[in-house]
Amino acid sequence: MLKALEENTKYQQFTGKDKQLLERFLAPDGAALQIIINAPEFTCLCPKTGQPDFGTIVIDYRPGDWCVESKSLKLYLMSFRMEGSFHEECVYTIGTALVELLHPHALSVEGLFGARGGIAFHPTYRYVRS
């Protein structure tokens, strides 16, 4: 059962990232899919200054048996809002959580973060099933 799709979702103030929010559903049988998800309103906190960082998270994957449920993904990404993490750590954490949940054929997560101190970071996590 997909809990995130319940009619009365209560949005809450998250205190840190929570991969338990992620849910999945069976991918279509025999489908050769590539799924690209663009989340342009990602926020987290700088772990040193506490100032907010803003970015776009782009997830690109070829599902195995599972697809990520979009509302649960939105809630998961929202759970980073009060998390003090470097950009690289955010992207790595999202990527490894999705690999654990979905067991995809391939997956990449790219973080397109706004400039801070005149430098923009775009870390990318890549996974290919062996």
3-state helix, strand and coil shares in percent for the chain, rounded to the nearest 5: 25, 35, 40
Q: Pick the catalytic residue: 18, 44, 53, 67?
A: 53
53 among known catalytic residues? yes
21 secondary structure, DSSP code: G
User: Is 67 annotated in the active site?
Assistant: no
- The CA-atom distances, in angstroms, between 89 and each of 1, 29, 47, 97, 107 are 30, 34, 11, 12, 16
Given 46, 60, 65, 90, the catalytic residue = 46
Catalytically annotated residues: 46, 53
